[in-house]
Amino acid sequence: MANTGCTKDMKELALHFVELFKDYEYIVGPSGSCVSMVRNGYAQFLEGNPDFESLKNKTFEVCEFLHDIIKPQSFNVSFPYKVGLHNSCHSHREIGLGSPSERNIPYFNKLEALLSKVDGIELVKLSRPDECCGFGGTFAVTESAISAFMGKDRIADHLNAGAEVITGADMSCLMHMDGLIRREGKPLRVMHIVQILNGEDPHGTSRTRS
């Protein structure tokens, strides 16, 4: 909505969101782009609103919440597959789930830190670990050819690295790449990172340790 220029509707939605969630201790979402919109995008309408200022500081992407607040020592699951990690743009750069390659700062990646607590997993090394997949909301509609080309390029990087599974923290990016993978019959599965941390595997069975 915001990326398409629906400013009036966006303001009403932002006010409604704050009213719905302002009294909760934490607000946790499975999408970094959505969390970034709440924290950063809503400011153009609500900056200075005390309810918003409080809410944006307690709104977390789910992996960020696990890493920074819950701080688990283990997930008690195994995932014996080669995994490529997609660092989506909003999660990586706008809410800080990892250190962008274009910035001269010490390396960190909260998704990698969580996945390292999963037994048997092998994270493959991509040639371009934080490049855009090309989805971009309505960009995928208005510039579909470019969007698809970018998505195929990201998939090729994962395949060349030997990945069996692509994971990440934004369903929109993962759905975009999954559609391209299915359409072209590529030998890759796509899973949201929470599915892996929850003990699922690419074939739909649980791998929780007894």
pTM listed for this prediction: 0.89
> Alpha-carbon distance 208 to 43, whole Å?
41
Model confidence at 137, in pLDDT bands (50, 70, 90)?
confident
3-class DSSP state of 140: helix
Token pair recorded at residue 50: 């005390």
pLDDT in tens, 36-92: 999 999 999 999 999 999 999 999 999 999 999 999 999 999 999 999 999 999 899
- Domain-wise residue ranges, the chain: 7-68, 74-197
What is the Cα gyration radius of the chain?
A: 18
pLDDT in tens, 8-30: 788 899 999 999 999 999 999 99
pLDDT at position 138: 78
> Alpha-carbon distance 142 to 24, whole Å?
37
Note the CATH architecture for domain 74-197: 3-Layer(aba) Sandwich (3.40)
> Alpha-carbon distance 131 to 89, whole Å?
8
Torsion angle in degrees (nearest 10) through CA of 44, 37, 143, 190 = 170
Torsion angle in degrees (nearest 10) through CA of 197, 203, 206, 210 = -100
